[in-house]
Structure 1
């Protein structure tokens, strides 16, 4: 079978870490146990008169041309999100559901391939049991990586993770996010027990042995009236008839509440890939088939190096070549947990 098995042309997986949008609230650190009583952070517009500051081409660097450009105001309307002047803490809340059946595709048109895939994932589970992956997901909750820019410059950050069942809290963990180093996955000694407990819950969810729903609440003390950073919308239609297109920056809201896209939160949670070549320079990146990091404009898992997801998966499933690097085995399974459409084009 290893020689004749073909990759399914239709092959898709549902994501197993299913998080919601993260909503923003404003309050005070001294009362930061009652986020549901806090008012939401709202988006407001402001118009600014900026200066021309972009890099000029050689032909435009004549002093007269520069003066002419500077005389023209750079008028912009932008969205901003700030805490009220009497609030010093940003509260961010979302939920995360962890699902099992990792090796079972949601769509597959090749029965033999599906059976071999499920057998391979079963062998992985028997050897590793999701211990390493679950630990890294737990660490990314505890260290507040999902806060993105809101994590920078914060005076204090407390993360609360609640395990929910039938609408009530079954267990709760609390972490000081600033104690954790986001560049590695070493556990601070004082949080060893908490991380181990949270890891076990996530692992049982991935194994399909437990229904896992987690509520994650972050309290970020940044200062009264300070700017906070929800997701920025990508406006595809910037025509004159589109009101949103007339703004230079449009921030994301759920109703009237500032929020962060679920995709952005999910990207942070799966930022666990430290097994790619030259990982010591950049640190962990998000699990992506080609190791894509858009902010760097680079793919860190190149097919020519045979470390991309598709090469590793084909060698593992079709040719019985288990990745020699243990980390690459974790990477392949983490990509299945990420979900996506992985069929081979005919």
Structure 2
């Protein structure tokens, strides 16, 4: 092996994700009939045409009353996709499966044998001295609290989450949680859920460590009200063309069933980073594990390279220079490797 001073990051370095969710499919029924949730009909997607008004911020030259009146005379016509519960159903059911894979820190591609050996030794040290217990507990909390429901969780009267540990197609163990008993800004566990949460976290930890096969079926129920709108993923249409009056919002569906992208489920599950620098000093809640701590809806990166808090600085210091981060930094680096991605150095 080359000496540490000569060691450089591999130019080809890629990791596969170790939390592998499926798409989540939507169905609907009544809260009083949760026991028959497997038989509930699917939620579909339909088009709706709406007539909007001019409400955007105007440029100074367009603020003339006559121009504004003329603009308002031209209606803002839109065609959008919408998904709603039937009028006789008050509860949304969201179902997906989650595979927990072993080999965290083992790259799927690496073109530098010396770097690979040092990386594997570094990961082995983390696993033996710290282990996956804390990361597994946080992933388990994000399953139990229904964070993956996203907007469907907001304003829900009740949220129930049922998780089954599957082996050979059968439920080896089942855990049930009251999603609203958990907060979204921390990882505190209600006393009545501690035992079940510990068992779920244990199953995830064994899966990450490669000591057991972990396949989870996750079913969440959100009681939102008869006929209420629900929120699948929205498709990103890159080529919108110039056709006037075309659909302005397209929702994701699998076949004819409203659904949520597996990537959006994965983002919710890895929203465990509370270790990032916080200049304001106030608890901001967890953010998704990303190399630069990027939060797109805030337009901010919380892990700036100048602060030496980003993934690349921590990983290079740990592997190349033997500068071991504190325990929080090690958790973040390992969580990013579990997230997966392409992290090679530029040639």
**Could you say which TM-score interval applies, normalised by the shorter chain?**
over 0.9
Q: What corresponds to 1:276 in structure 2? A: 276
Q: CA deviation at 1:128?
A: 1.4
Cα deviation, residue 35, structure 1: 2.2
Q: Secondary structure at the match of 2:336?
A: helix
Query: 1:127 Cα shift?
Result: 1.3
Question: Could you tell me which residue of structure 1 aligns to residue 61 of structure 2?
Answer: 59
Q: Deviations over 1:273-319 (max 9, x none)?
A: 00001184421000000001111011110000000000000000000
Equivalent position of 2:288 in the other structure: 286
User: What is the 5 A alignment of 1:202-213?
Assistant: 202-213=204-215
Q: Residue 254 of structure 1 aligns with which residue?
A: 254
Tell me what 2:101 maps to. 99
With normalisation by structure 2, the TM-score equals 0.97
Question: Once the two structures are superposed, what CA deviation does each residue of 1:179-238 show, in whole Å capped at 9, x if it has no partner?
Answer: 001100111111111111111100000000101000000011000000000000000111
Q: What's the counterpart of residue 342 of structure 1?
A: 343
Q: Distance in 2 between matches of 1:306 and 1:315?
A: 10
In the TM superposition, 1:151-230 aligns within 5 A as: 151-230=153-232
- The one of 139, 146, 149 equivalent to 1:147 is 149
Aligned-residue offset at 1:129: 1.3
Structure 2: gaps (5+ residues): none
Q: How far apart, in 1, do the equivalents of 2:24 and 2:320 lie?
A: 40
Separation in 1, partners of 2:259, 2:13? 33
Q: How far apart, CA to CA, are the structure 2 residues paired with 1:150 and 1:206?
A: 29
One of 322, 334, 342 as aligned partner of 2:324: 322
Pick one of 293, 296, 299 that aligns with 2:298. Answer: 296
> Which residue of structure 1 aligns with residue 77 of structure 2?
75
Q: Distance in 1 between matches of 2:283 and 2:298?
A: 13
Answer yes or no: is 1:5 the counterpart of 2:7: yes
Shift in Å, 1:33: 2.0
Cα distance between partner residues in 1 of 2:230 and 2:250: 14
Say which SS state the counterpart of residue 158 (structure 1) adopts.
Answer: strand
Q: Please state if 1:17 is matched with 2:19.
A: yes
Partner of residue 140 from structure 2, selected from 138, 141, 148: 138
Determine helix, strand or coil for the equivalent of 2:6: coil
State the 1:36 CA deviation: 2.0
2:265 alignment partner in structure 1: 265
Question: Under a length normalisation based on structure 1, what TM-score does the superposition of the two structures give?
Answer: 0.97
The equivalent residue for 1:127 is 129
Report the 3-state secondary structure (helix = DSSP H, G, I; strand = E; otherwise coil) of the residue aligned with 1:67: helix
Q: For residues 306 and 221 of structure 2, what CA distance do their matches in structure 1 show?
A: 44
Q: Secondary structure at the match of 1:132?
A: helix
How many angstroms does 1:46 deviate by? 0.7
Query: 1:327 deviation in Å?
Result: 1.0
Residue aligned with 1:215, SS: strand
Aligned to 2:87: 85
Distance, in Å, in 1 between the alignment partners of 2:119 and 2:331 is 15
Rounded Cα–Cα distance in structure 2 between residues aligned with 1:115 and 1:83: 54
CA deviation after TM superposition for structure 1 residue 240, in Å: 5.0
Partner secondary structure for residue 315 of structure 2: helix
Gaps of 5+ in 1: none
Q: Aligned pairs, how many? A: 343
Alpha-carbon RMSD: 1.2
